[in-house]
Structure 1
Amino acid sequence: MADMLTAEAGGSVLAARYVARMAAGDIAPDSGQAKVVAALAQLEQRIASRRLARKSSALGWLFARREDTIPRVRGLYIHGAVGRGKTMLADLFFESVAVRKRKRRAHFHEFMADVHARIFKVRADMKAGRIKEADPIALVAAALYEEAWLLCFDEFHVTDIADAMILGRLFEKLFDLGVVIVATSNVAPEDLYKGGLNRALFLPFIAMIEKHMEVVRIESPTDYRMEKLGGVRIWFVPDDDHSMAQIDREMEKIWHRIAGNDGGAPASISSAGRIIRVPRAGGGAARFSFEDLCAAALGASDYLRIARAYHTVVIDHIPQLDQDRRNEAKRFITLIDEFYEKGVKLVASAAAEPEDLYLGTEGAEAFEWARTVSRLHEMRSSDYIARPHGRGDSEASGDTTGLVET
């Protein structure tokens, strides 16, 4: 398989990195993934050719080239079942592609929240006379293009009618400007917004995706999220046989199993104009200490962004909390609520089992803790681990890492 990828990739950085991780045992041989790697490697090369053409166009006086002679690059829409490695491959592509500026990696849900906020601001500026009357969506598309002409979306799905009504016009403008889009999704394009209100108005958008993006299904028999966490102890408490130092070593092993042999790297998430620092992130997972998450001034919206950005979160050293630390207890309750609703997988080391973690007896958190205990136990079950990321009990939702290179 490594030889096949190397031959098909023709010098692709993405394919070389994938093969190296496979050789290191970080990635298991998978023919379904190999097919997607080959498609991404070809896209990587088309983008490299476009960049060269653009450089030549900039010297038009010498080469008689024009911008409109540069061929448009079709993006890629990758779909398939949960846990097949779509996010990992998209991350590898984003890291490898020869675009150092003007590229953006985002969770689709948060991208659309950003789009709605921009449209609202443009309309407010027009109403106040700060800018001339124009098509707000066209102005937003132009601004997005100036920031990034390569957009990579994770968990592309549409459940909101407001999104559905905007997408066609927005993406038409983006594609006209030459934006290249790579997206991962659990559903095929024809199943987007299935059963949604006024879906007939959404169908032209599906046709637009199929025109401007190559559609590839990842046919992998293995659910790697279940493979990495299924049967693994995910809540660690010191006992007569296990000290916290031993637990720390076991947590480190599990982290590398989830995030990869290199252990990931620091990352950040944008949240309402602020930056949430992620000490370590890799393979679609993030690792924090309890103090990082619950001693800091974070709230529900911050935890929601973390929940949308990462399918698995590892938390080290959750302490026993008494009445004097009820603020940390409140944050932890909120954190678990957001993780639970979005199907985030949790691996944690703690001073005690969930029912013994909070010792306070006063205030709302003392009563709410029972719900947290119940959810923490459920989150250790195989049924919960098999739940798709990003899906609450009643709706599919989708965080952007706010990763924009300029």
Structure 2
Amino acid sequence: MTDVTETPLSLCAREPQVPAERLVAEMVPPPRFRDARFETYIPDPAQPSQAEAVEVLSGFAAGLGAGTAAGGGKRRWFARKPAAPAGPRGVYLDGGYGVGKTHLLASLWHATPAAPELKAFGTFVELTHLVGALGFQQTVRTLGDHRLLCIDEFELDDPGDTVLVSTLLGKLVDAGVGLAATSNTLPGKLGEGRFAAQDFLREIQGLSAHFRPLRIDGEDYRHRGLPEAPPPFAGEVVERAAHRTPGASLDAFPALLEHLSRIHPSRYGALTDGLRAVCLTGVRPVPDQSTALRLVVLADRLYDREIPVLASGVPFDQLFGEDMLKGGYRKKYFRAISRLTALARDAEPLAEA
């Protein structure tokens, strides 16, 4: 690549507004998992639970298609309301980061024999924002005629979310919607270490009752057998790469963290629209937990959209302090480190060009 000078974009200059209709239209698997299928998931032979998950989810998808009209159309308004299921109406993929849970969740979405508009796929934070944008009753009406709702990164970080999601999923189960979720935390332990979960035990137990837990064991596939992540580059290398890479953004890391505090996390995906690379200078440990959790969401959206991250400063495995990595959100932080490390590896050619 020649040293053609581009004017880098800036994440800090963007304040996206996301209309409600876009929130609904974008409830599909993200670009990284657009082609995810059960056939392309490669189970680790040393981890039988991975192959078992494929088998269970394939059967679950087939069951969701039972009784679907030709063409996967919506249920007619005069059709008999489905009977309330006697047992769990969903599956809950529990396991460490990097074992392929999102790949399996997206594969389930693709395998379920229903029209795309009758299947929804989104992160937990996107689902709660949808309720905020549409209102509770309209969200129930919008999702209530779906065959399947997939919720990635299911976490309960505050009591308000616990009550909201418990009530919403109860309504959707009553309407006959199939549920599937991924998380690093067993459903009965959601919220543990984050707030006084025992005060909301009824809601948490109600959530747990909707799902059959499916444990997936294994190592982080993103780094299995791969070399160590590249060390951070010098600031001038990052800036030079940003100026010669069309569609790259360039921001100082502290300024970006401050900017994220002014934007709802559900809009972080829109924040990255059109980007081909993210270049960051002066990466340093995040100062507090609220900032750290916002960075986790941004890392997830960058990973979903396959956007390389080129950075100077400290390595990504030093972003979160020891107290954070031992606290209630530690699994989120380890997932963010894993994903950012993979994106840093993807960005190496930009620095070498």
TM-score over 0.5 for the alignment? yes
> Matches of 1:229 and 1:340 in 2, distance apart?
28
CA RMSD of aligned residues (A): 5.0
| Structure 1 residue 163, shift from structure 2 partner | 1.2
| Structure 1 residue 177, shift from structure 2 partner | 1.2
For the 8 Å contact 1:307–1:339, the answer to whether it is kept is no
Q: Which amino acid aligns with 2:316?
A: M
> Is 2:18 the counterpart of 1:81?
no
For the 8 Å contact 2:157–2:194, the answer to whether it is kept is yes
> Matches of 2:53 and 2:221 in 1, distance apart?
16
> Matches of 1:114 and 1:55 in 2, distance apart?
23
For the 8 Å contact 1:315–1:349, the answer to whether it is kept is no
TM-score, normalised via structure 2 length:
0.56
Q: Structure 1 102/86 Cα, relative in aligned 2: closer, same or farther at 3 Å? A: same
Q: Structure 1 141/228 Cα, relative in aligned 2: closer, same or farther at 3 Å? A: farther
> Is 2:333 the counterpart of 1:379?
no
Equivalent residue runs for 1:1-400 within 5 Å: 17-20=37-40, 22=42, 28-29=44-45, 30-51=47-68, 66-68=80-82, 74-99=89-114, 100-119=116-135, 137-138=136-137, 140-146=139-145, 148-194=146-192, 199-200=197-198, 202-220=200-218, 222-227=219-224, 231-233=228-230, 235=232, 289-290=248-249, 300=260, 304-305=265-266, 316=277, 318=279, 341-342=295-296, 344=299, 348-349=309-310, 354=312, 376-379=313-316, 390-391=332-333
Q: Which amino acid aligns with 2:128?
A: M
Identical positions, percent: 24
Deviations 1:168-226 (A, max 9, x none): 32222121111211100111111112256564453233333343321111122x12234
Of structures 1 and 2, the one scoring higher in RCO (CA 8 A, sep 6+) is 2
> Matches of 2:207 and 2:141 in 1, distance apart?
19
Deviations 1:129-184 (A, max 9, x none): xxxxxxxx4554234325x4421111111121211232332222121111211100
> Matches of 2:229 and 2:120 in 1, distance apart?
34
| Structure 1 residue 44, shift from structure 2 partner | 0.6
How many residues are paired up? Answer: 264
> Matches of 1:184 and 1:153 in 2, distance apart?
7
Unaligned runs of 5+ in 1: 1-15, 120-136, 249-278, 280-287, 321-336, 355-375, 393-406
TM-score, normalised via structure 1 length:
0.50
Unaligned runs of 5+ in 2: 1-35, 254-258, 282-290, 335-353
> Matches of 2:161 and 2:95 in 1, distance apart?
22
Q: Structure 1 194/97 Cα, relative in aligned 2: closer, same or farther at 3 Å? A: same
| Structure 1 residue 237, shift from structure 2 partner | 7.3
